[in-house]
Copies of this chain bind each other. A is one copy, B any other.
Amino acid sequence: MTNTPQSTDAAGKAGLVVSAHSADFVWRAAGTIAAHVAQGYRMKVVCLSFGERGESAKLWRKGPQMTESTVKAARREEAQRAADILGTEIEFFDLGDYPLRVNDEALFRLVDVYRDLQPSFVLSHSEKDPYNFDHPLAMHVAQEARIIAQAEGHRPGEKIIGAPAVFAFEPHQTEQCEWMPNTFIDITEVWERKRAAIECMAGQEHLWDYYTRVALQRGVQAKRNIGITATRDIKYAEGLMRLTPTVTGVLA
């Protein structure tokens, strides 16, 4: 692959994923997570909420015995299993959804995660999403916490972080969200793992094939963007929108 930076040594490297609801990281970033785990990265997912109100329709339809508490438990269990399959850590902030609200206490908890993890990149939602206002808020918080984690005056004496690259993963209706994939990750080798994680999401089975098709389309596009003369085959890919500049010594 002509455009691939080769990380020959990922020792000590880490990546963070900030997910508004407990299933978002699976549809949108499971391949990227698994691919980095396979290269030795420590990966961590923070779920700001369980998506218990807005993204659990199928669970609620089970009947009146369902409560916010039982729905949250079911969602937590699904997300934990997916994380285990992908090999990533996962932490639940349980802040509520529809609407998600993030106070400064939660913000500082996320700062702590950054400082502990020292990630070289962070993934979260698109900055605009007219279908879901929790998503842009998650990205906003992910960036605000990143900035605070860089500040020496926040809990002086702690080890600050560098400048982890910020990426927005793929929203459901990309064009309405003004999201553009300027980065494609080849996830062909970890595809089975992503599909297995997807299948943990019993409550949203209607999305399984949707996101399988997304991976196939992004695979075709990734291949197009390295040129048909490239020998490497890419079948499945994830698209990401990089928001921060790249600093490099070689272009391609």
Contacts and interface: CB of A to CB of B under 8 A. Distances in A.
Contact of A184 (B66, B230, B248): B248
B229 A247 contact: no
Interface string A57-81: 1001100101010010000000000
Interface stretch (A86-94, A145-153, A191-199): A145-153
Contacts of A230: 162-163
Contacts of A225: 163, 244-245, 247
A242 interface: yes
A2 B9 CA distance: 11
Contacts of A57: 151-153, 228
B250 A7 contact: yes
A3 B224 contact: no
Interface in A1-19: 1-8, 10, 15
A57 B226 CA distance: 17
A117 interface: no
A250 to B, nearest CB: 4
Nearest to A227: B162
A248 B132 CA distance: 23
Nearest to A228: B162
Nearest to A244: B225
9 contacts: A4-B247, A6-B249, A15-B251, A57-B228, A120-B251, A120-B252, A121-B251, A133-B143, A185-B251
Interface of A: 1-8, 10, 15, 32, 35-36, 39, 52-54, 56-57, 60-61, 64, 66, 68, 71, 98-99, 101, 104, 107, 120-121, 130-133, 143-144, 147-148, 150-154, 156-157, 160-167, 172-176, 179-186, 210, 213-214, 216-217, 220-222, 224-230, 234, 237, 240, 242-252
